[in-house]
Amino acid sequence: MIGLVIVSHSHRLAQGVQELADQMSTDDITIVAAGGLMDEHGAFHIGTDAVRIAQAIQEAWSEDGVLILLDMGSAVLSTEVALEMLPPAMRERCRMSNAPLVEGAIVAALEASLGRSLEEVNQAAEAASRLQKIAQE
């Protein structure tokens, strides 16, 4: 079973996506949120923190790998820095997903709980960008 990490500029958005994804998966899938930037008073600001992301990857770690879902922009940069901080053996089993954050996380949680591989889960999550939400006439 792979692990999932949710990266967003917003702490609450990452938590919300994690909550939603948790609902779609089984208990044996670890989903960890790493959103926002904590200041010295423990308050969250908009931003991303590579150190927290690296910790989240370690928390979600499974030998089967970790899929990282993210919003955009500097979330990608911070996640790249986080991956660079990890031991190479761990880094090789981590993927950043190009999937849309919310839809991708829901699909990934579902696919992961079916025991699919890292690559399979990522493909399914990325395909969520073509998801037709509204029935065509």
Active site residue 41: no
Of the ranges 12-20, 48-56, 60-68, 108-116, which one interacts with another protein (CB under 8 A)? Answer: 48-56
What are the two backbone dihedrals, phi and then psi, of residue 87, each rounded to the nearest 5 degrees?
Answer: -60, 140
Q: How far is the CB of 50 from another protein (least distance, A)?
A: 4
Q: Which residue, 36 or 104, is less far from another protein as judged by CB?
A: 36
By CB under 8 A, residue 8 contacts another protein: no
44 or 120: CB nearest another protein: 44
- Cα 84 to chain centroid, rounded: 17
Site residues (CB under 8 A) for another protein? 37, 39-40, 45-52, 73-74, 77-78, 80-81, 84
